[in-house]
Structure 1
Amino acid sequence: MTRHYREFSTNRPGALIAAIPAVLGFTPEQSLVLVSIESGGLGAVLRVDLSPTLVEGLHELIEVIDAEQPDAVVAVIVDDKGAACPMCNEEHRALCDALIEALSGSGIELWAAHVVDHIGLGGTWHCVDGCGSRGAVDDPKASPLAAAAVLDGRRLYATRSDLQAVIAADHTAAPSALTDAIAARQGDDERRRWEDSAGAARRDVEAALAAVKRVAGGALLAEAEIVALGSALADAQVRDTMYAVAVGESAGAAESLWATLARRLPAPWRVEPLVLLAFSAYARGDGPLAGVSLEEALRCAPKHRMARMLDDALHSAMRPEQIRELARTGYRRAAELGVQLPPRQSFDQRAV
């Protein structure tokens, strides 16, 4: 589920389809995209892979869409076989028939359904039901929502694989050596915390904040810093405090740090940076990055409480401003530790 853009007209299919990459954060391929319509504008957007079992799983998608209580839904089927495959057209129609039936159970209308061969210059769309409507896809790079995404500090990716690469594990390092180094460091850290829990946590938070500043300045982290940060984030006091950075003026640099740690740390230590990255992305409305980060975190640690909570919130379309409220705990923890965090930033209220 992605963020919402209220001020966008949905009466031009070519423009609506061109806006999808800016909302998702990447250009979907071989996908079913559901766009909810709210007050005549573009609401939440949900994407799933086209697959033989998609029809059986439609009820789960409808539950997510229904949580938004939209006026209607527009379906966009991205299939590079397009009109060149008559059998595919029959499959598309069958999928939309099943979608209509599933939506009707929630009292939601399928306003329109389009098939597009690819979302980009030269892409073409046509209606699923053979009504004769067809046209060209507008340039996604010229979409008003693409400009809005850039202004919001979001990076747009060519494919979902490119987005997943942001947090993909770096296999060039020797994971066993890092694992041994972090385990040894944690043993030392646990002794420090036993002697002075608050003091150790304060020093670790300050070290993490210093690393955020260094990353913002373009510095590369040495392996010893990676090890120290991986061990520090295993401490709940440190981790809880760092969630507040997601709503501070250093949030962007912190995301770069969390992504770096997620790539370079071995499991299980990479889980905490993944969840911190997901929280920060979610807080600023970047559902796609939050989603892939949580997917990887839960793959590594299926029972991780914060990852599970954020994943449930994302799939139930909880708004970013509601998620930001969780950062208050981080500010309280920082005050208890005597740490000064970066000032809170203001968020664009246009995208919620």
Structure 2
Amino acid sequence: MPVGGRLALRSPIDIIAGMPYIVGEPPDPGIVVLAAKGAGVHAAFCGALDGSHRHLTPAERARPPVDLAVAEGCGGLLVVAYGPPGLVTPYVDALLLAARERGVAIIDALRVTDGRYWSYTCVSPSCCPPGGTVVDIDSSPVPAGAVLRGIAPARPLRVALADLDRVRGLLTPVRGEARAAMDALAEEVDRRAREMPETTLVRRGFGAVREAIEAERDGDGIRGYEEIAWLGVHLAHLRIRDRAWAAITERTALLHRDLWARVARHLPARRRAAPAALTAVAAWQHGDDALAMAAVETALAADPGYSMAVLMGRALAWGLPVERWRGSAPEQGPWE
């Protein structure tokens, strides 16, 4: 299988040796999925299994790369799992099942553990011994071929987990007197919202979100506790939240990142999922995967089943391209 028409992967050893030139350093423990189109690798997805995405089941993590491979017209998948069998095998099994259900062929599925590899698709002990096969990178022509062709190792697809600490501060909830004042006001705003007719509340919500975005754009920003408390109420309505989501573009991503991160920090936990999820989308649109991952964590800590955060978590877990997310976002219609 040629990679970019330049490197040929003809054996399991070649595949493992070629990983640095396709995805950079593969995650360990983790899984790499290569989607083949024609005779070459069309797309690559990396998913770490270190616990940072523990809210996703194996089946949930299997669907995004398979769905994207189908959408891109790829006919086959090559799976390479790194780590102990008890950890990685459920994810490999889920990928194989998802591929079969979508009619995508499995070229091979390998596990690399402690310097040896095993194939999930080979049952012959003559070529796939029960004790595994030593990963002898020096026996593969791929690294030398890469040097001859001037191909450098790829930049890793994943953000280092240590980078999460850099950005968590942007989402740390306010404390002390500010926390007490914000929580009390949020309770009062919730009570007043319950007394409003639904149509009035929704109409007011569209206006409040629009004004908050405009204020951020003009450099004023929304910082009043009551305004933030009302935004928390309004974003609980999916129509209003989706309108805010649709307004996030590559050009406006920084504006939305700052606005919704500030709102998430101030709101009580019960209202934090929506603005944190919006922060994740904005950060990803801006190319800041570390902040996006931290924002997903914040949203799911507030609401473990929050669908927008789950979707965002899947995309980040597999390194899906942001262009695909832009295509799936709600259409940006007029403010209602």
| Alignment CA distance shift 1:12-1:93 (3 Å) | same
Write out aligned runs for 1:88-237 (5 A).
92=84, 106=100, 108-110=106-108, 128=117, 129-133=133-137, 145=155, 156-157=159-160, 159=162, 161-162=164-165, 165=168, 168-170=171-173, 172-173=175-176, 175-188=179-192, 196-197=200-201, 200-213=204-217, 221=223, 223=225, 225-236=227-238
Q: Give the SS at the match of 1:49.
A: coil
Query: Which of structures 1 and 2 has the bigger CA Rg?
Result: 2
Partner of 2:44: 43
**Which of 3, 18, 21 lines up with 1:12 in the alignment?**
18
**Which of 70, 73, 80 lines up with 1:74 in the alignment?**
80
| TM norm structure 1 | 0.56
Partner of 1:88: none
Contact 1:6 1:43 in 2 (8 A): no
Contact 1:37 1:74 in 2 (8 A): no
Residues matched between the structures, number: 280
Alpha-carbon separation, structure 2, partners of 1:96 and 1:194:
48
Alpha-carbon separation, structure 2, partners of 1:326 and 1:314:
15
**Which of 262, 265, 268 lines up with 1:263 in the alignment?**
265
Superposed CA offset, 1:293-327 (max 9, x none): 44543442245454456667878998755543554
Alpha-carbon separation, structure 2, partners of 1:47 and 1:185:
41
Alpha-carbon separation, structure 1, partners of 2:6 and 2:161:
22
| Alignment CA distance shift 1:276-1:237 (3 Å) | same
| Alignment CA distance shift 1:162-1:108 (3 Å) | farther
Deviation at 1:233, TM superposition (A): 2.7
Letter in 2 for 1:267: A
Deviation at 1:244, TM superposition (A): 1.6
Deviation at 1:48, TM superposition (A): 0.9
Letter in 2 for 1:200: R
Letter in 1 for 2:303: A
Aligned sequence identity (%): 20
Superposed CA offset, 1:124-174 (max 9, x none): xx55432432699xxxxx96547xx8xxxxx95552643772665425345
| TM norm structure 2 | 0.59
Letter in 2 for 1:33: I
Contact 2:293 2:316 in 1 (8 A): yes
Alpha-carbon separation, structure 2, partners of 1:99 and 1:232:
38
Alpha-carbon separation, structure 2, partners of 1:230 and 1:99:
36
Gap regions ≥5 residues in structure 2: 8-14, 70-74, 118-132, 144-151
Range moving further from structure 2, 307-316 or 167-176: 307-316
RMSD, matched Cα: 5.0
